[in-house]
Structure 1
């Protein structure tokens, strides 16, 4: 299939529950635990433990309705604002936040997280702490100058973005333009954490094959520096997952701050 015929996340959407089942669940055939669960978790724990990132407001701009990347953040930021590009992902996330029947079970990740932090005694409290920290879940539109128009958000101390830029960007210009919008949401000196997949051309959710912007570490670094960021930490991990659901080759974790 030609990549130009692939669906695009923020335009066409996808089955948000299937996305979680395929890439973040504890199903025996879920091949991505090492890459999509453990890799971001370990890097986030390390990054926040250094104590440089903390404050009042954290904005989450990530793909799908995932929440596991917020488990560390809720210990360092008073208010978390989650922005999503599709209504379906908002509904799926709110189902978990409101502890509704049928919500996706993140229990396997909660257990893994408290073990990684050596805080197994906090297992019962961890998910509730995340739920309490998430103050708002809102829709955003990257076609607008202010992506939350007509609402103007308070400048953020930190933004976390997992796997979003490669899912909504068609090319390098898009990536840089969207990165600039991220920067506009940050305070001077604010921090940005990017988690992504390198050298990826597609990913699959259910029966849908979706577009992914293909980029490498060098491009990501240059894009950040070009938009006025100083890179504090970067970690690259080779793919371990064996699956034809997606074709990324490596993962990237970057922590940077705005000049």
Structure 2
């Protein structure tokens, strides 16, 4: 039954998910939820940068489920120039590649987000600084790969490396059809991490759906305990946990979670 449900969900995404609509509906302007994600990512990579000189070789970052949205790897691009983005949907990869190849002409939508990150990096940041952090992000991206987190190798054999940091934003709970399948996605993604690497996840707690046009898209109803247990099964332990109550999000967004979470989990040396 779960397999049938998953095939159905995959078909819905392939047929109904339109990147331009998604960007207009969910990224029409910088809000408290975006700031929550970007601030916490900045803090993580700022700390990682301070440790960089003692850690040796260049680090590798993977974003799982990038969608058509380039903003969540901006802070990572200050830490490394080796970033791989990925998504299940061809139309999202196409939209991301379009942004990647077009340059500043494609940056208007993302400038408020980039400006926010630029101000986190420097009090003297201005409009040009926003363009520069987006250009830095572009230069850091090595490839945009197909990805299926329900597979034991989510990158489908397209990458021959393990990663030091994996970022996933509102992805894993939307790909699974059951709590057990969610645990499987966590395990699959964690296989791509180096020992002692970090998995960064952001998403919504207690939510069961969001909308694409008039289509209600189901999500796994996540709790802190469910996430903690799934990570433990995957050989990881939570080292950072932050929450943002839903009351600080725009009330008209067609998504029903009660709070956003930011979670950093570290992979154990021995699994």
Question: Normalising to structure 1: TM-score of the pair?
Answer: 0.88
> How many Å separate the matches in 1 of 2:9 and 2:108?
24
Residue 195 of structure 1: aligned partner: 202
**26, 37, 43: which one pairs with 1:23?**
26
Q: CA deviation at 1:8?
A: 3.0
* Structure 2 residue 70 is matched with structure 1 residue 73: no
Q: CA deviation at 1:144?
A: 3.3
Q: Note closer, same or farther for the CA distance 1:42–1:142 as it changes in structure 2 (3 Å cut).
A: closer
RMSD of aligned alpha carbons: 2.3
- Provide structure 1 residue ranges, at least 5 long, that are not aligned to the other structure: 27-31
Deviates more, 1:46-55 or 1:137-146: 46-55
Residue 82 of structure 1: aligned partner: 85
**240, 244, 250: which one pairs with 2:259?**
250
* Structure 2 residue 242 is matched with structure 1 residue 235: yes
Question: Normalising to structure 2: TM-score of the pair?
Answer: 0.84
Residue 12 of structure 1: aligned partner: 13
> How many Å separate the matches in 1 of 2:90 and 2:108?
16
Task: State how 1:144-183 maps to structure 2 within 5 Å.
Answer: 144-183=151-190
1:61-108 per-position Cα deviation (integer Å, ceiling 9, x unaligned) = 035211111110001122111110000100111111111666772111
* Structure 2 residue 224 is matched with structure 1 residue 210: no
Structure scoring higher RCO (CA < 8 A, sep ≥ 6) equals 1
Q: CA deviation at 1:230?
A: 2.1
Residue 29 of structure 1: aligned partner: none
Residue 64 of structure 2: aligned partner: 61
SS in 2 for 1:251: strand
* Structure 2 residue 121 is matched with structure 1 residue 111: no
- Provide structure 2 residue ranges, at least 5 long, that are not aligned to the other structure: 53-57
Question: Are 1:231 and 1:256, in contact at CA under 8 Å, matched by a contact in 2?
Answer: yes
Question: Are 1:8 and 1:167, in contact at CA under 8 Å, matched by a contact in 2?
Answer: no
Question: Are 2:150 and 2:188, in contact at CA under 8 Å, matched by a contact in 1?
Answer: no
Residue 224 of structure 1: aligned partner: 231
| Number of residue equivalences | 249
Greater share of helix: 2
Residue 44 of structure 2: aligned partner: 47
SS in 2 for 1:213: coil
* Structure 2 residue 31 is matched with structure 1 residue 33: yes
Deviates more, 1:168-177 or 1:205-214: 205-214
> How many Å separate the matches in 1 of 2:87 and 2:141?
13
Question: Are 2:145 and 2:158, in contact at CA under 8 Å, matched by a contact in 1?
Answer: no
Question: Are 1:10 and 1:168, in contact at CA under 8 Å, matched by a contact in 2?
Answer: no
> How many Å separate the matches in 1 of 2:107 and 2:21?
12
> How many Å separate the matches in 2 of 1:225 and 1:146?
19
